[in-house]
Amino acid sequence: MIPAPLSPPTFTRGAPNYLTAILFALVALGTIIGVPAFAYIHGYTWVDWTMFGLLYVITGLGITVGYHRLMAHRSFDCPDWIKAGLLIAGGWALENSALKWAADHIRHHACCDQEADPYNAKRGFWYSHCGWLFFKDMNANDKYASRLRQDSVVLWQHRYYLLIVLSGLALTFAVGFLHNGWIGGLGCFLLAGVGRTFAVLNSTFCINSICHLWGRQPHGQADSSRDSWLVSLVTFGEGYHNYHHTHQSDYRNGPFWYNFDPSKWLIFTLSKFGLASSLRTAPHL
């Protein structure tokens, strides 16, 4: 008997999400056209590059330490004012409120590689990288946000998310303006505001795409997650994604001393100053 050919998996796709698509297009075009055009006409100053670097680190760690390891996985505890600081920094990354981000991420772990996985890597590189953002979510389920809704700091950040985003962009303009007037403000806004947002967005996206498609699986093959030390270099340690999927509540993504994981170093340092507690680790490591 000839076996029936395997049919390709079918995926449902929601209606286009025009608002997110337009916003992402503005950030992408601003970075690809606006940033080099300004460099050609006026050039960037050391203030612009310093702000770019500082905000890349601050907003990147806001996502990895605040949104991801603290809110989505509860891998440590901290005072509310530290949490608020981390969620403001994460808000400046333009990756939605911590409530929405962490609920999506909890669902990613619960339904990895399945239809309800918001950035399902089985749907290909571009879908898991950023394509999923451009369609309405057909599988949103409020149960993944219920624990987060108990947190007053999360609700506060969700309510004022737009103001937080605008304050981050305004900060870049204000610093540039103080240094070099209107042209300085525009330059700093373009490089440290728009260009940096594009850079941090894409580094985060690499975890959902690259770290589910290419790399080693030394800690388990229960899902498509993979370790990539290369991705860790630009994501503050999040590239050790196979370890993370296997031990989700560990505050470290790279558990060994030689793993490049600045997020765990920050959490560990905070704990030494009494600003983080109950750091969770996998029992055998």
Interacting residues toward Zn ion by CB under 5 A: 225
Q: How far is the CB of 119 from Zn ion (least distance, A)?
A: 8
Structure tokens at 275: 């600003």
- Toward Zn ion, which CB reaches closer, 225 or 228? 225
- Toward Zn ion, which CB reaches closer, 64 or 97? 64
Q: How far is the CB of 1 from Zn ion (least distance, A)?
A: 39
- Toward Zn ion, which CB reaches closer, 122 or 179? 122
- E strand or H helix at 172: helix 161-188
Q: How far is the CB of 79 from Zn ion (least distance, A)?
A: 23
Whether 232 and 239 have beta carbons less than 8 Å apart is answered as yes
Q: Which residue is nearest to Zn ion (CB)?
A: 225
Which residues does residue 26 pair with via DSSP β-bridges, in sequence order?
Answer: none
Q: How far is the CB of 187 from Zn ion (least distance, A)?
A: 36
**Distance of alpha carbon 247 from alpha carbon 219, whole angstroms:** 9
Closest CA to 57 of 31, 88, 80, 89: 89
- Toward Zn ion, which CB reaches closer, 96 or 225? 225
Q: Vertex 127, ends 124 and 132: CA angle to 5°?
A: 150
**Distance of alpha carbon 80 from alpha carbon 121, whole angstroms:** 35
Q: How far is the CB of 225 from Zn ion (least distance, A)?
A: 5
- Toward Zn ion, which CB reaches closer, 181 or 220? 220
Q: In terms of DSSP H, where are the helices of 160-261?
A: 161-188, 196-209, 229-235, 241-246
